[in-house]
Structure 1
Amino acid sequence: MNTPLAFSAALLALVLVFTMVRPHRWPEVAVAAPAAGLLLLTGVVTMDSAAEEIGRLLPVTGFLAAVLALGRICDDEGLFRAAGTTMARLSRGDPHRLLGGVFVLAAATTAVLSLDATVVLLTPVVLATARTLAVSPKPHAYATAHLSNSASLLLPVSNLTNLLAFGAAGISFAMFAAVMVLPWLAVIAVEYLLLRLIFRRELAAPSPHEEPPPPADIPVFVLVVLGLTLAGFAVTSALDIAPAWAALAGAVVLGVRSLARGRSSVTGIAKAVDVPFLVFVLCLGVIVDAVMRHGLGDFMKTHVPLGTSLPALLLIATAAAALSNVVNNLPAVLVLLPVVAAAGPAAVLAVLIGVNVGPNATYPGSLANLLWRNIIRREGMTAGVAEFTRVGLLTVPLSLVVAVVCLWAGVRVFGL
């Protein structure tokens, strides 16, 4: 291994380990920024290449900032509380019905507001709803954990990894959604059936509460703006405009109204945007780019199978899933996209399946998993490493295969 590659790979490993452990709850950028700066100071990365990588990632991080703000404002306006009350009423004390409601809500939240909203905003609501009904929270919490990853397949705006892949795939917003809708539905169905089986004992005991909670006050204006924002994503894509502008418009409309009504605060919205994490994403991109430029890119091009046949797509998705659980899904997608992009959109979307479904196997698979673990601990629930991995290994393989088969069928139907 050449010296620049060894040095940049060591820094990447250091950043990833720090991200998983987060001593004293320091932000990820506390190590990522110095590591990127060290690569620049030592000449492993040039200013031009760093600027090029940051310029490529800026629209993605800008969109993420707008969606994070949008999710926080929706929470301030009571959208998730209303959703929890509605789930409790519709479940009628039946844990199976509640699980179905959680699946529908988590899948929709992840698709429209991104996985961060599902983990940070929806998971506490789901746990509170389970406590209110006096049913086991475990199957419902695992549903939010898994769907925050796997239900993000549907739209380019559902996940940071999707935004990166969307640019590499070179297809429209509408085409992306059309090709991925079948894998999305298939993964959700497989996850639902398997989680029902895995947690059959927890789901067997009905709620002792017979009286349903009072009806929820549905924030209709918020739902209308979200619908228009979603339509705006498709329109901006068709006009070759960054979807961040549609997300920003939705956040501004809801934010101005929520601030005027005293439900949101500027401080709260700014905190939700999480600027340190956005800077971390940019720094991580520079570090991964260094690793790729100094040898890993050539190695991956030689060893990663390329093609659009079903076996090739399965191998690509499996490799992406395995790499995600070793180095986390964000570095994994940054590493793999430049390698598979030449093979066309089908290969890019296979990587996306791997980095979105695969992380459900282990805690290090995605930052969302680690964030979910912190949230459930704060809410009084535990899910050990062995348990999380066991549930993941029972669900990921079948979900991955079914999703890839559906992708393979979709790309042939749409002629990609």
Structure 2
Amino acid sequence: MSTIPAELLSVTLLLLILGFAVVRPRQLPEAVVAVPAAAIVVAVGAVSPAHAWAETRDLLPVVGFLAAVLVLAQLCADEGLFKAAGDAIARACKGSPRRMLGGVFAAAAVITAVLSLDATVVLLTPVVLATARRIGARPRPHVYASAHLANSASLLLPVSNLTNLLAFTASGLTFARFAGLMALPWMGAIAVEYVVFRRYFADDLAAPAHEPDAEEPPGLPVFTLTVLALTLVGFVVTSFAGIDPLWAAIVGTVVLAARALGQRRTTPLALVKSAHPYFCLFVLALGIVVKAVVDNGLGDGIDRLLPEGSSLPALLAVAGVAALLANLINNLPAVLALLPVAGPAGPGPVLAVLIGVNLGPNLTYVGSLATLLWRRIVHAHDVYPELGDFTRLGVLTVPATLVVSTVALWAGLQFLG
């Protein structure tokens, strides 16, 4: 198949996949469209079977890591970790919506970094809503915070986001070095978000609330927290030892799963469902379609567009292009398209891409699948975010967080080398 028709077909199929992922008629999994689309691009020769298999083989460890972390997050939820976090926020805020916002920011930042943005969107958001209602606070600031922090706070660790796992693989960095370089960008993005939220939602945060009713606080899941901490240590140790951190994630997940199965608090089928196998299949199929788009023209265009080097202007340009592309075609296809071009330039441009695709999606609903999922979850709890609020918050936060985080990355590269 010649290049131009192959590119047109590949782009059309990519847009079809993304459109289906946004709408999800009858709640059908995204893989329903993505898998046939991947088969089509291979069948017509837009991507060769060898290249398709190579792309799948490269993505398999990343997708396996994602599945393990998703199961780990669900097991933590089953152990009461998120309920305990919500209770701690309610007690610490003492009836103050402003204090509650700080608590939500802290909880969302940590949970996103350690257990991924999906844990924040799926498991923390309902807890945040329940906590706001418990003290009589207006939910808007806290609900929007869970959406924004799911993206903005996902910069810190390779496990925080699927895009991070892809960038981590392409960067050649160790787990600890990745975290060291992204610590300042992570803190900078969260700080900017907090300042903007305090000013934008000033009226909501000034509305009266009350202290929560006295209840017996749920006990902290000490065993779960211990396993989680040891799993994080395992990520660092395996990375330094040259072993795929996937194995540390598997060990932590197996320990919690064995305990839950032994206590009959879960079932093998529930564990499989918590790994979201259809979404994992969707990621693999999407990688093949994006490979076809990149190989038939987009890759050359990106190569001409992205500047070379790790100077501050170059990193700002890379982050800006990545953010724009994330809002045009979603952040997951964007990172798959950008990394083959940015990867050979070194870790600086790769991490700048990550800043763009993680922070950029706070501008539009379609920027990330996590934001789309957040909308569905809050609708299910009778909360209906307004597009105007989401867009205005995006305009106020995205450019500022992009600049602050990219400057912080550049400074970290100068200091750490």
TM-score bucket of the superposed structures, by smaller chain: over 0.9
Q: 1:232-266, CA deviations, whole angstroms, 9 ceiling, x for partnerless residues?
A: 01111111211111111111111111222232232
Within-5 A mapping of 1:117-136: 117-136=119-138
Q: 1:181-200, CA deviations, whole angstroms, 9 ceiling, x for partnerless residues?
A: 01111111111111111111
Q: Distance in 2 between matches of 1:294 and 1:84?
A: 49
Per the alignment, residue 98 of structure 2 pairs with: 96
| Pairing partner for 2:151 from 143, 149, 152 | 149
Q: 1:99-134, CA deviations, whole angstroms, 9 ceiling, x for partnerless residues?
A: 111111111101111111010001001101111111
Q: Distance in 1 between matches of 2:208 and 2:228?
A: 34
| Pairing partner for 2:33 from 26, 31, 34 | 31
Larger mean Cα displacement after TM superposition, 263-272 or 315-324: 263-272
- Tell me the CA shift for residue 210 of structure 1: 6.0
| Pairing partner for 1:353 from 355, 359, 371 | 355
Does the aligned pair in 2 maintain the 1:89–1:212 contact within 8 Å? no
Within-5 A mapping of 1:13-412: 13-209=15-211, 211-412=213-414
- Tell me the CA shift for residue 312 of structure 1: 0.9
State the secondary structure of the residue aligned to 1:208: coil
Q: Distance in 2 between matches of 1:63 and 1:320?
A: 24
- Give the AA of the match of 1:407: L
- Tell me the CA shift for residue 212 of structure 1: 4.4
Q: Distance in 2 between matches of 1:344 and 1:300?
A: 16
Q: Distance in 2 between matches of 1:406 and 1:209?
A: 38
Larger mean Cα displacement after TM superposition, 57-66 or 43-52: 43-52
Q: Distance in 2 between matches of 1:331 and 1:40?
A: 18
Does the aligned pair in 2 maintain the 1:89–1:215 contact within 8 Å? no
Q: Distance in 2 between matches of 1:164 and 1:204?
A: 42
State the secondary structure of the residue aligned to 1:2: helix
State the secondary structure of the residue aligned to 2:158: coil
RMSD over equivalenced CA pairs, Å = 1.1
- Give the AA of the match of 1:147: L
- Give the AA of the match of 2:249: A
Q: Distance in 2 between matches of 1:133 and 1:210?
A: 5
* Ranges in structure 1 where 5+ consecutive residues have no aligned partner: none
- Give the AA of the match of 1:283: A
C-alpha spacing 1:126/1:210, structure 2 compared with 1 (3 Å): closer
Does the aligned pair in 2 maintain the 1:152–1:158 contact within 8 Å? yes
After superposing on structure 2, the runs of 4+ consecutive aligned residues of structure 1 that deviate more than 4 Å are: none
- Give the AA of the match of 2:113: A
Q: Distance in 2 between matches of 1:179 and 1:279?
A: 31
Q: Distance in 2 between matches of 1:286 and 1:59?
A: 15
Q: Distance in 2 between matches of 1:198 and 1:160?
A: 30
Q: Distance in 1 between matches of 2:283 and 2:370?
A: 14
Q: Distance in 1 between matches of 2:214 and 2:356?
A: 40
- Tell me the CA shift for residue 177 of structure 1: 0.6
Does the aligned pair in 2 maintain the 1:89–1:213 contact within 8 Å? no
- Tell me the CA shift for residue 43 of structure 1: 1.9
- Tell me the CA shift for residue 271 of structure 1: 1.2
Does the aligned pair in 2 maintain the 1:151–1:187 contact within 8 Å? yes
Q: Distance in 2 between matches of 1:186 and 1:213?
A: 36
Q: 1:61-91, CA deviations, whole angstroms, 9 ceiling, x for partnerless residues?
A: 0000000100111111111111111110111
- Tell me the CA shift for residue 306 of structure 1: 2.4
Q: Distance in 2 between matches of 1:241 and 1:386?
A: 46
Q: Distance in 1 between matches of 2:400 and 2:48?
A: 43
Q: Distance in 1 between matches of 2:212 and 2:90?
A: 11
Q: Distance in 1 between matches of 2:196 and 2:342?
A: 31
State the secondary structure of the residue aligned to 1:157: helix
Q: Distance in 2 between matches of 1:250 and 1:47?
A: 35
C-alpha spacing 1:211/1:24, structure 2 compared with 1 (3 Å): closer
Q: Distance in 2 between matches of 1:185 and 1:213?
A: 34
Does the aligned pair in 2 maintain the 1:155–1:176 contact within 8 Å? yes
Instruction: Give percent identity, aligned residues only.
Output: 55
Q: Distance in 1 between matches of 2:121 and 2:212?
A: 29
Larger mean Cα displacement after TM superposition, 28-37 or 305-314: 305-314
TM-score by length of 1: 0.98
State the secondary structure of the residue aligned to 1:405: helix
- Give the AA of the match of 1:168: A
Does the aligned pair in 2 maintain the 1:306–1:316 contact within 8 Å? no
Does the aligned pair in 2 maintain the 1:333–1:351 contact within 8 Å? yes
- Tell me the CA shift for residue 2 of structure 1: 1.2
State the secondary structure of the residue aligned to 2:55: helix
Q: Distance in 2 between matches of 1:236 and 1:335?
A: 28
Larger mean Cα displacement after TM superposition, 210-219 or 86-95: 210-219
Does the aligned pair in 2 maintain the 1:110–1:147 contact within 8 Å? yes
* Ranges in structure 2 where 5+ consecutive residues have no aligned partner: none
Does the aligned pair in 2 maintain the 1:77–1:263 contact within 8 Å? no
Q: Distance in 1 between matches of 2:211 and 2:51?
A: 61
Q: Distance in 2 between matches of 1:208 and 1:91?
A: 10
